Amino acid sequence: MATIKDIAKLSKVSVATVSRVLNGDETITVQDQTRERIYQASKELGYKTIQERRNQQQTSRSKKNPAIGVVLFLSNEEELSDPYFLSIRQGIEEELIRQGISTTTMIRSYDKVDHQKVHELDGMIIVGRINEEAFKKISGHIKNIVYINHSPDEDMYDSVVVDFQKATEKALQHLLKAGYKRIGYIGGVEREHLKERTIIGEDQRLTTYEKVMKSEGLYEPSYVFIGEYTMIQGYELMKKAVKQNDVPEAFFIASDPMAIGALRALQELRISVPSDIAIVSFDDIEMAEFCSTPLTTVKVHTKEMGQTGVKLLLDRINGRKLPLKVTVPTELVIRQSCGTNQ
């Protein structure tokens, strides 16, 4: 087997220069001709770097039992209170078990990254938003990556997403067709939690609400209430909404947990749903059907999103080069809270 010393001799440079060039040391300054001579010599001698040999071993192993990393942007506590992302993770875990894959690593985006463990991964599933800086710290050399619920670069990475714009339009058109004009919005903030700071991203449910209501000539800024995606915030924001003089006659609420909190607030205030205020929500978690007033809501197939992410990643590991973006459809599930059965 050829050594770095053999390459240095053939290319007529020092052993240290060969080592730094072949291992991608960007701090070294060498002429392009010298760099090309080193690469040519290594090719002629059939030399493979440690990283190339490691990649070959990983490729061989990955076809049998790939090591998968799952990156989550929520803390344990946040995930347990957020059925949407919890269901996605459950879908991932169920599909991994179904595929007979036992080697998985859970990574929280704000945790200290174990680079040795990451280095041994064959692929990675990223659930939710993660900015480029954090992504680079976590992902390292990994090329096989699938995003779920986010698609930062569809020309490079596989992704599984929901069309939030289409889903929100579906909910709002249902309320508009039912004759409601004063439609409010209760929602949370899309956050990415890092160790040093928190980043706020665009929430397409809110931007689509604004766009649709403005196009109808019905947008009223005082009808918009933003907090956190929690049940208690839904409760508090609804109480705030009904205290103002001009109360909306219907609400689009951006998550079922927030809508459940809002229902509790209205019940305490003896405001009837849907007779006084109609509600359409988003997610269709299990509890939505069993509320005091069953929720009309946009159903998101979260488990299927997780399962699809695993299948895409395995397909990628096994050689597919073309990145794919899968948009999982949603459906409006009509129950009692919207005041119409059509």
Report the 3 state secondary structure along 295-327.
CEEEEECHHHHHHHHHHHHHHHHCCCCCCCEEE
Q: Going along the chain, which residue ranges are E strands?
A: 68-72, 104-108, 123-127, 145-148, 158-162, 183-187, 190-193, 198-201, 224-226, 250-253, 278-283, 296-300, 325-328, 330-333
Nearest to 6 by CA among 48, 41, 43: 41
Tell me the three state secondary structure of residue 285. coil
Nearest to 128 by CA among 148, 112, 145: 148
Of all helices (H) and strands (E), which one includes residue 15?
helix 15-22
Q: Taking the chain, what is the end-to-end CA distance rounded to the nearest angstrom?
A: 73
Q: Going along 9-61, which residue ranges are E strands?
A: none
Residue 112: pLDDT band (50, 70, 90) is low
Tell me the mean pLDDT in the region 22-42: 81
- pLDDT at 204 exceeding the cut of 80: yes
**CATH code at 4-56:** 1.10.260
Those residues with Cβ within 8 angstroms of residue 150's Cβ, 6 or more apart along the chain or in another chain: 126, 128, 129, 130, 159, 161
- Output the CA torsion sign for 270, 274, 280, 285: positive
Residue 31: pLDDT band (50, 70, 90) is confident
- Residue 155 to residue 323: CA distance in whole angstroms: 6
Phi and psi angles of residue 146, each rounded to the nearest 5 degrees, phi first:
-125, 130
Nearest to 63 by CA among 323, 316, 308, 324: 316
Quote the distance between the C-alpha of residue 249 and its chain's center: 33
Asked if residues 144 and 123 have their Cβ atoms less than 8 Å apart, the reply is: yes
Residue 58: pLDDT band (50, 70, 90) is low
The identity of residue 310, as a single letter, is V
Cis-peptide into 274, omega within 30 deg: yes
The answer to whether the 67-162+303-328 and 164-300+331-338 domains have the same CATH topology is: yes
Residue, of 142 and 123, whose pLDDT is higher: 123
Bridge partners for 193 per DSSP: 198
Which of 58-62, 85-89, 127-131 is predicted least confidently?
Answer: 58-62
Instruction: Give the tens place of pLDDT for each residue, 288-334.
Output: 999 999 999 999 999 999 999 999 999 999 999 999 999 999 999 99
How many H helices and E strands in the chain?
13, 14
Q: Domain limits of the chain?
A: 4-56, 67-162+303-328, 164-300+331-338
Tell me the three state secondary structure of residue 174. helix
- pLDDT at 224 exceeding the cut of 90: yes
Q: Topology of domain 67-162+303-328, per CATH?
A: Rossmann fold (3.40.50)
- Residue 1 to residue 186: CA distance in whole angstroms: 66
- pLDDT at 91 exceeding the cut of 90: yes
Phi and psi angles of residue 96, each rounded to the nearest 5 degrees, phi first:
-60, -45
- Residue 242 to residue 266: CA distance in whole angstroms: 9
Mean pLDDT of the chain: 87
Tell me the three state secondary structure of residue 44. helix
Radius of gyration (C-alpha) of the chain in whole angstroms: 26
Query: Domain 164-300+331-338 is of which CATH architecture?
Result: 3-Layer(aba) Sandwich (3.40)
